[in-house]
Chains A and B, each alone.
Chain A
Amino acid sequence: MKINKKLTRRDNNINAYVFLAPYLILFTIFIMIPIAMAIILSATNFNTLKFPDFIGLMNYVNLITQDEIFMQYVLPNTITYALIVGPGGYTLSFLIAWALAQLSKVPRTILALVFYSPSITSGVAMNVLWRILFSGDQTGYINAWLIKLGIITEPVQWLTGSSYLLTIMIIVALWSSMGVGFLAILAGILNQDETLYEAAAIDGVKNRFQEVIYITIPTMKPQMLFAAVMAIVNAFQNGMIGVQLSGSNPTPGYAGQLVVNHIEDYGFIRYEMGYASAVSVILLITVYAFSKVSKGLFTEKGY
């Protein structure tokens, strides 16, 4: 029969590779090969001028045993930053999305826009905004307010000193954390099946909290996982904000130095590309590990 013939032809449709080719070629050149190169370069000593020498795991050994800045500042900073911004931003996204889902369309759309818009103020806007608000002299907005309220008497060096930089970075990152993942959660909640809630009410689910725990979250695990991955990637991807806020790499007293800045510092300022690649590999593994953990939390198999 004609249909059957079509189907067998389409069991291994060569055309599919043509459709995939443009994406796959770019994906390979700019995502796969760079990852492979990072792994290979991480085992070398490479200063961009001479051909890389193979030095095995020395970069990793040095990273752990010799690099005081990494161990003392970069690693603790990154862990603190990622643990607060990742899960914190994620929880905030969920709570806000859940609250917004209970509103009717117009106020919900307006408020969703308000929460989403900080996530798109990247680059220039970010620089302007926070550097002016947290400016270190008494004309800085935050300083002026706090002095007026009598909380402080002297202007505080918010961004150019080392005491508050990391805290401010975390606040800014949380402020801008309601991006794509937030929208996914909101859409997920809005598309839930009303009858599930009816059934649960009959089964004795009494309050909103129980509803969230037993119905809302379990029925939208795939969206929750997608949002979690987005939250993790964002937390690490935005690693440049310390440098953006303080205006220097390294950041003052290494207070806002995150893994990403360390890579840039070694790669593009000192040209120790091999060493910087080792740091990159550690970063990629960390993100992957975090994502795997969240996958464990949200896959269907557990239930």
Chain B
Amino acid sequence: MARYRKSNINPKRFDISQIKIILIILPLALFMLLPIVFIFSHAFKPMDELFAFPPRFFVVRPTLDNFYKLFKATITSAIPIGRYVFNTLLVTLAVVIGSVFFSTLAAFALSKLKFKGKHALMEINNAALMFVPVAVMIPRYLIINALGLTDTYWAMILPVVAMPVCLFLIKQFTDQVPGSLIEAAYIEGASDFKVYRKIVLPLIKPAVATGAILSFQQVWGDIMSSSYYISNEALRTLPFYMNTLTSTNNTIAGQGMAAAAGLIMFVPNLLLFIILQSNVMNTMAHSGLK
């Protein structure tokens, strides 16, 4: 019998043969990690270390000075920082909930209901995966103007709620829900909405988490919608404010604040991904595009 050598894909536990892969991949991983470490390190540097010459990569005496300065700078500005935080949280939450809710509804219909035009709609959405939002920033701007949404929260929320990638991934995942389960529910007399609520939604939680994280990433650090559609300072978001703060203060002191701001924007994103990563991987297994 032919002696079969195991493929080594997805091994259950660590063994010696994995060391050579780690040795190859580790230098690359360190290179990838270094800039991230730098943001952390820089944000905690006291003034003299930011000024130090020659510059030092790692912080020696970490302090929270930059964070204090950042918050002090916001006190002297016309709008209190709480307002920016509130705006960002409101917009982010609305986009995440909206895009996940609408995508799961649409995914349920596309995956489990029979209707005319289903195939065409799926094709259109698949083509829209290739859509590059920045290419249509001008028509979007004109539409938002025409709808009278300029200077409202809606201008930052509505354009990004329909996210083709989000629908695509959730729909692919919903395809895995066994038809027999749904059939049984219909025989029991459940309505379409009840099937969606009670059967499909609980089974596609990993895809819901993935959709949420993707839409979160899209909206959380977004600067463009605040700058194009909003002229009322009180409605702008935290990343926009931090960006103006850090690009107008391009001094060394500004650098420390900028790093602190960068860290504040980056950490929630990272934490959310760490918490949800197994869900994301589960969803990605069904991400095939034919």
Q: Is the CB of A201 within 8 A of B290?
A: no
Total interface residues on B, CB under 8 Å, equals: 113
Interface size of A by CB at 8 A reads 112
Whether A225 lies near B136 (C-beta < 8 A) is no
**Do residues B287 and A223 form an inter-chain contact, with CB atoms below 8 A?**
yes
> Cβ of A23 and Cβ of B9 under 8 Å apart?
no
Residue B78 at the chain A interface, CB threshold 8 Å: no
With A and B bound together, what is the CA distance between A121 and B133 in angstroms? 19
**Distance in Å: Cβ of B289 to nearest Cβ of chain A:** 4
Count of CB-CB pairs between chains A and B under 8 Å: 333
| Interface mask (A116-138 → B, CB under 8 Å = 1, otherwise 0) | 11101111110111101100001
Given A26-B158, A128-B39; A12-B114 close (CB under 8 Å): yes
Q: Is the CB of A23 within 8 A of B115?
A: no
Q: Is the C-beta of A287 less than 8 angstroms from some C-beta in chain B?
A: yes
Interface of A is mostly: helix
Which residues on B sit within 8 Å (CB–CB) of A15? 109, 113, 192-193
Q: Judge whether A20 and B110 touch: CB under 8 Å.
A: yes
Tell me, yes or no, whether B116 is within 8 Å of chain A by CB.
Answer: yes
A124 and B261 contact, Cβ closer than 8 Å, known pairs A19-B196, A226-B288:
yes
Interface with B: A63-71, A162-170, A273-281, which one? Answer: A273-281
Within 8 A of A (CB), among B1-29: 2, 4-14, 18, 21-22, 24-25, 28-29
Q: Show the binding face of A for B, using Cβ within 8 Å.
A: 2-3, 6, 10-17, 19-20, 22-24, 26-27, 29-31, 33-35, 37-38, 41, 48, 96, 99-104, 107, 109, 111-118, 120-125, 127-130, 132-133, 138-141, 144, 148, 175, 178, 180, 183-184, 186-192, 194, 197-198, 201-202, 211, 220-223, 225-226, 229-230, 232-233, 236-237, 239-240, 247, 260, 263-264, 267-268, 273, 276-277, 280, 283-284, 287-288, 291, 299-300
| A–B Cβ pairs within 8 angstroms, 13 of them | A10-B113, A16-B192, A37-B139, A127-B246, A127-B258, A133-B38, A180-B214, A223-B288, A233-B131, A237-B134, A264-B137, A280-B135, A284-B132
